[in-house]
């Protein structure tokens, strides 16, 4: 068994990236313009104001598989591995499940959430910034 999911593992690296993403989504950031997963703005350029979400995928440290969860939107069920970070508490993150609408190729929010222990996350993938309806 892979020991990366031990409770005493330091979750600082992934926590720091998720904290930056959460600040961006709450528009609590400064205006420098670097690039990368933790770039301090949403959208393709730092002057964009039309994005409110940086979708992410989190990968299990033991299996390497993306974490995924079932969801239900208006009677339609599915499974997703794409999330919007909503809250951080020590080594746990609360994520909103996002559904990809195949007709528009846009993400739709669900009103379903998952709390993931960051001690069990080995990697994060940031997807292109987008805007979702949060109401």
Average pLDDT over residues 66-77: 93
Please provide the average confidence, as pLDDT, over all residues in the chain: 83
Q: Where in the chain are the domains?
A: 3-126
Average pLDDT over residues 29-37: 57
Average pLDDT over residues 29-53: 64
pTM metric for this prediction: 0.78
Question: Is residue 3's pLDDT more than 90?
Answer: no
pLDDT of 44: 67
Burial of 78-109, coded b for 16+ CB within 10 Å and e otherwise, reads: eebbbbbbeeeeebebebbbbbeeeeeeebeb
């Amino acid at each position: 068994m892979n020991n990366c999911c031990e409770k005493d593992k330091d979750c600082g690296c992934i926590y720091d990236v998720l904290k930056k993403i959460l600040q961006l989504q709450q528009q609590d950031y400064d205006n420098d313009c670097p690039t990368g997963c933790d770039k301090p703005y949403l959208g393709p350029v730092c002057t964009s104001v039309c994005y409110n979400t940086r979708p992410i995928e989190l990968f299990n440290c033991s299996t390497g598989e993306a974490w995924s969860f079932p969801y239900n939107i208006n009677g339609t069920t599915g499974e997703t591995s794409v999330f919007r970070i909503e809250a951080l508490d020590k080594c746990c993150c609360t994520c909103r499940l996002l559904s990809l609408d195949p007709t528009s190729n846009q993400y739709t929010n669900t009103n379903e959430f998952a709390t993931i222990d960051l001690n069990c996350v080995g990697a994060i993938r940031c997807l292109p910034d987008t805007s979702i309806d949060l109401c």
